[in-house]
Amino acid sequence: MMATLTRPQLPSTDKRWMIVQGTMRKHGYSRNALIETLHTVQQSFGFLDKDAIRFVAASLQIPPSQAYGVATFYHLFQLRPPGRHTCQICLGTACYINGAERLMGHAEKQLGIQAGETTPDGEVSLLAVRCVGSCSFAPVSIFDEQIHSYSKVEALDAQLKAWTQP
């Protein structure tokens, strides 16, 4: 006889956990729903914290280490809260050969952080993305939701200054 595990309670009364639970229910609490559920957590909370991963893993009966491994394997999942602004620079092949590496180097120097990190004041997150599907406009960068084609270091610099200076 298989021992049945009870599903954990919601971590808090926050309504967003209901959305997360909804995704898992939609997939019948199947283990395959892990990535889908982590997406829902990220969309609802903006990032994945350890409590969220622990809750999802326990609900889907997946070992916590395995869920954490999946969350850290994919660049799309963020384990820290995002900054107020996000600067995404595409490092896909077309953008790369058109000088995206220089853009990234400049942004890292300007913000004093590495790609994938957020400035200590929580103002700007710098992300490296792989191909946003606009290769004909390479190099492409995305400031918040705004896509910039044929990005230049000067324009990037101006945008970062606008964000970081009061």
Partner 1 sequence: MSATPAVKTFVIDGVDASARPEQTILAAAREHNIFIPTLCHLDGLSDVGACRLCLVEVKGARRLLPACTTRVEEGMEVTCNSPRIAAYRQMTLQLLFAERNHVCSVCVANRHCELQALATSLGMTHVEIPYRFPSLTVDASHERFTLDHNRCILCTRCIRVCSEIEGAHTWDLMGRGIQSRVITDLDQPWGESDTCTSCGKCVQVCPTGALFQKNRTGGQGCKDPSFLPYLRTMREEP
Q: Which residue ranges make up the site for partner 1 (CB under 8 A)?
A: 50, 53-54, 63-66, 68-69, 72-73
Plot region of 85 (φ>0 → left; ψ -120 to 50 → alpha; else → beta)? beta
Are the C-beta atoms of residues 15 and 44 closer than 8 Å to each other?
Answer: no
Taking the C-alpha atoms of residue 39 and residue 162, their distance in angstroms, rounded to an integer, is 31
Which is closer to partner 1, CB of 53 or CB of 91? 53
Q: Is the dihedral of CA 113, 117, 122, 126 positive or negative?
A: positive
Judged by beta carbon, residue 11 or residue 22, the one nearer partner 1 is 11
CB of 149 to partner 1, least distance (A): 29
| 68 or 137: CB nearest partner 1 | 68
Contact 141, 103 (CB under 8 A): yes
**Least distance (Å) between residue 72 CB and partner 1:** 4
- Residue with Cβ nearer partner 1 (52 or 160): 52
CB of 93 to partner 1, least distance (A): 17
In whole angstroms, the minimum distance from the beta carbon of 138 to partner 1 comes to: 24
Neighbours of 150 (CB within 10 A): 12
